[in-house]
Amino acid sequence: MSGRGRLTSFIIIHHPPIPSFELPIVVGTVELEEGPRVTTNICDAARDELELGMPVEVCFAATTDKALGVPLFRPVRA
């Protein structure tokens, strides 16, 4: 898969606190170029940057298991 898609929904969670997360949390839905939609977190994005339809690309958050990463998405930078 290309790892690219566009942002079809996003929210910024301000309250209440969520265990093991740091507020604010950006949750998004990404429609992949190949069609499927996935729920994810959007990282490395300033508030004013977030916009429905914006292009995003996958990145991986490290886990305690070195072989596994959690797929997250970030804005595509020129």
Partner 1 sequence: MSTTRPLDAAIVGIGQTDFSKDSGRSELQLAAEASLAALADAGLGVSDIDGMVTFSVDPTEDVELMRVLGVPSLGYSVRLPHGGGGSGATVYHAAAAVATGAARHVLVYRALNARSGRRFGQPRDPGAAPSVGSGWSFAQWYAPYGALTPAATLSMHAMAFMSSHALSNEDFAEYVVGIRDFAATNPSAWFHNRPITFEEHQASRWIIEPVLRLLDCCQETDGGVAFVVSTVERARDLRQRPAVVLGAAQGVGAADVAGRVYAQAGVGPTDLDAAMVYDAFSVEVFSSLEDLALCPRGEVKDFVASGAIRRGGIVPVNTNGGLIGEGYLHGMNLLTEAVRQVRGTAANQVAGARHVLMSSGRGACILGGET
Return the residue of 14, 46, 64, 67 that touches partner 1, per CB under 8 A: 14
Q: What are the residues facing 29 on neighbouring strands?
A: 9, 39
The answer to whether 13 contacts partner 1 (rule: CB under 8 A) is yes
Return the residue of 5, 30, 40, 45 that touches partner 1, per CB under 8 A: 40
The answer to whether 24 contacts partner 1 (rule: CB under 8 A) is yes
φ/ψ (deg, to 5) at 47:
-50, -45
Return the residue of 33, 36, 49, 52 that touches partner 1, per CB under 8 A: 52
The answer to whether 68 contacts partner 1 (rule: CB under 8 A) is no
51: helix, strand or coil: coil
Q: Are 42 and 59 in contact (CB under 8 A)?
A: no
| Vertex 70: Cα angle to 49 and 30 (nearest 5) | 40
Q: Provide the binding-site residues for partner 1, judged by CB under 8 A.
A: 8-16, 18-19, 21, 24-25, 27, 29, 39-41, 52, 70
